[in-house]
Structure 1
């Protein structure tokens, strides 16, 4: 197994990414290897400084970087030697089994769709994030930013993708899938949610349990919550702020500590033909480590193949 990691992506690259790679290496099993993609002239001095044997990693040198503020599509086309572009070429050619980056998220989405392509049958790939539950355990929220505008059939597919992820990576048996809405009643919501509800109610693709409201995000009414990417991104950023506020207030709370994004690594891109994970731009070494381990789980569970089978 070869896990590709973009060393140049993120606000604190390359040092934070390299330190995260070192931490991840300690948790990998025999036969599981990290491939560091980026400027090797910047990588190896950090390894030496940390007293880490550079031979533990494989390296692919690149001399271009896609900045966080660059236009995703233009950057992918105009910077073919960037760490993100090279990483996706390696993934497309089967030279790595997954690819993760804390760099330009738009470029990561574009790169995934342009290189390894969308799985046949899937209308649009999406991003998901882990939700901590107040009684313990975790759930899933999707989409959280890839698709600001959606149609009912797209949300239906998000439900299927989320159910497969929850079952295989979160180990939830027959996960409960719900639609985010402004009320629990069947007829509630805007045009999108009212058109989506009957599709989900009639499907046999997943275990649909109806509408949920924003107050249900962290309880046990659903294991997978589906919404458009605009709504999901707003909820995600709000949830992340809970942890930041408790830290600033000097509060120590076990539940709110679980809102720390570092614990979860990144957001998987669901619906493309290979495991791809997008990390937070401010990813710390701990977040990078967990992003690598998340990539490994996507590979070992065979999630992509299971999605392909479900959408045949």
Structure 2
């Protein structure tokens, strides 16, 4: 497998990206070949210093970088030699099997939707986040910002996509799917939640566990929690802020430490036909390593084939 990595994306690139590659090579057993996309002049001394096995990676030169504050569509159009544009070109033309970047999120989303097709039957691709559970392990919350407004059918598909990811990447057999709501009883919530509940209940491809409330998010009541992206993003940012406050106050706790985004790396775009993983702009070496690990798991498990089969079967 060939995994493409944008070496210029993120506030601490390319230094932390190179460190992440080294950490991956040193700690993960893998036959993955990494395609490092970035400015050769900037990368060469860092790669030499890291003393990486040159047989395990290839450098593809990019002469431009899309800044974090640039307009996504305009930047992709005008910067065809940027690391993000080249990454999507390679992915589109089957030169790499997955693409990872911690660069401009908007440019990554535009590149995904214009370069990579959605899987047939998927109405709206989604992004998810890992949710650390107090009893151990991780759940999944989606959508967390890509789709601020949704129809009931979209949330049902998020449940299917999340279930497949939880089963094949997180190793959760028959994952329970919950609908984020303001009460446990059927009939609670706004119009979207009320219309979604019976659809989830009747969907044979998921194991529906009913409504879950905010207090249930970090428990094992549901393995996959679905909501529209507006609510999901609020929950995500609130959880991240708890970790930030704990760090600032010098609080050390094993559970709170697991809210650090570097533990899980980046966010896969679920519902598109090729693996695309988007990282946080402040990603460090551990986040880069974990994004590579996620890409490897997606490829090894043939997750996208399973998603395609699930939607074709319907």
TM (norm. structure 1) is: 0.97
2:104 alignment counterpart: 104
Structure 1: 4+ residue segments shifted above 6 A: none
1:254 alignment counterpart: 254
Pairs aligned (count): 312
Provide the C-alpha distance between the structure 1 equivalents of 2:220 and 2:49, rounded to a whole number of angstroms: 46
Deviation, 1:74, is 2.0
Provide the C-alpha distance between the structure 2 equivalents of 1:30 and 1:218, rounded to a whole number of angstroms: 32
CA displacement 1:54-101 (0-9 Å, x = unmatched): 454201111111111122222222222111111011111111110000
CA displacement 1:192-218 (0-9 Å, x = unmatched): 111111111111120111111111110
User: Is the Cα–Cα contact under 8 Å of residues 12 and 282 in structure 2 kept in the other structure?
Assistant: yes
2:310 alignment counterpart: 310
2:19 alignment counterpart: 19
Structure 2 counterpart SS, 1:298: helix
1:10 alignment counterpart: 10
User: Is the Cα–Cα contact under 8 Å of residues 117 and 273 in structure 1 kept in the other structure?
Assistant: yes
Structure 2 counterpart SS, 1:236: helix
1:151 alignment counterpart: 151
User: Is the Cα–Cα contact under 8 Å of residues 25 and 34 in structure 1 kept in the other structure?
Assistant: no
Provide the C-alpha distance between the structure 1 equivalents of 2:309 and 2:273, rounded to a whole number of angstroms: 12
1:94 alignment counterpart: 94
Aligned alpha-carbon RMSD (Å): 1.2
1:40 alignment counterpart: 40
CA displacement 1:129-150 (0-9 Å, x = unmatched): 1111101111100011111111
> What are the ranges of 5 or more consecutive residues in structure 1 without an aligned counterpart?
none
User: Is the Cα–Cα contact under 8 Å of residues 47 and 54 in structure 1 kept in the other structure?
Assistant: no
1:211 alignment counterpart: 211
Structure 1 counterpart SS, 2:111: helix
Structure 2 counterpart SS, 1:241: helix
Q: How does 1:171-182 map to 2 (within 5 A)?
A: 171-182=171-182
2:268 alignment counterpart: 268
Provide the C-alpha distance between the structure 1 equivalents of 2:193 and 2:69, rounded to a whole number of angstroms: 33
Structure 2 counterpart SS, 1:210: strand
Q: Which stretch has the larger CA shift, 255-264 or 242-251?
A: 242-251
User: Is the Cα–Cα contact under 8 Å of residues 32 and 56 in structure 2 kept in the other structure?
Assistant: no
Question: Does residue 288 of the first structure (1) align with residue 288 of the second (2)?
Answer: yes
Deviation, 1:28, is 4.4
TM (norm. structure 2) is: 0.96
Deviation, 1:167, is 0.5
Structure 1 counterpart SS, 2:80: coil
Structure 1 counterpart SS, 2:267: strand
User: Is the Cα–Cα contact under 8 Å of residues 4 and 97 in structure 2 kept in the other structure?
Assistant: yes
User: Is the Cα–Cα contact under 8 Å of residues 18 and 50 in structure 2 kept in the other structure?
Assistant: no
User: Is the Cα–Cα contact under 8 Å of residues 44 and 54 in structure 1 kept in the other structure?
Assistant: no
Provide the C-alpha distance between the structure 2 equivalents of 1:74 and 1:194, rounded to a whole number of angstroms: 40
> What are the ranges of 5 or more consecutive residues in structure 2 without an aligned counterpart?
none
Structure 2 counterpart SS, 1:240: helix
Structure 2 counterpart SS, 1:36: strand
Deviation, 1:37, is 0.6
